[in-house]
Amino acid sequence: MTGETPEGCLAVLQMFRQGLIGMNPLDIEKVHVMMDSLVHGNGSAKCAVDIALHDIKGKVMNQPLYRVLGGYQDTVQNDITIGINTPEKMAETARHYVKDKGYRILKIKVGIDPEEDLRALSLIRQAVGPDIRLRVDANQGYNISRAMYALEGMKKYGVEAVE
């Protein structure tokens, strides 16, 4: 999706290595400025450095990461992805994840046909009820007009985020 490759990430990390030597690992924003000054984009390599810095900060503070980031809960709610299938099968899968596995957040893959995608969302909402959080990922599958149409239709299903 991003055009990055493992080889490219390693090359960018090698570039960062020289800049990182001697920097205070707790100056996370300063490290980001250095990385951004060396290369545009390359979010995966930058993310690797950012995660390492936050790990160091947590160890220095003797705190878990959720506290370092300002959180107060020691659990993370995660979503589960419902892959593209027939709307009926997607609803059946959603019901299974909610009822049998306890998921409270569903990420629904869409992006092929807005009409079928909206039908799938309708069936999923019926299957899981109003309290389950729905997110949608279209994987760049819509052009602008199809995206606008789909977004308008998603409103009635309480979709909280669209990628």
| pLDDT tens digit sequence for 53-85 | 999 999 999 999 889 988 888 787 899 999 999
- What is the C-alpha separation between 51 and 64, in angstroms, rounded? 13
- What is the C-alpha separation between 33 and 18, in angstroms, rounded? 14
16 touches 49 (CB < 8 A)? yes
DSSP characters over 7-47: HHHHHHHHHHHHHHTTS-TT-HHHHHHHHHHH-S--HHHHH
Q: How far is CA 11 from CA 17, 20, 47, 52, 152, in A?
A: 10, 15, 14, 17, 43
Counting residues of the chain whose pLDDT is more than 70, the rounded percentage is 99
Q: Other C-beta atoms within 10 Å of 69: how many? A: 11
State pLDDT tens for residues 122-133: 999 999 999 999
**pTM listed for this prediction:** 0.68
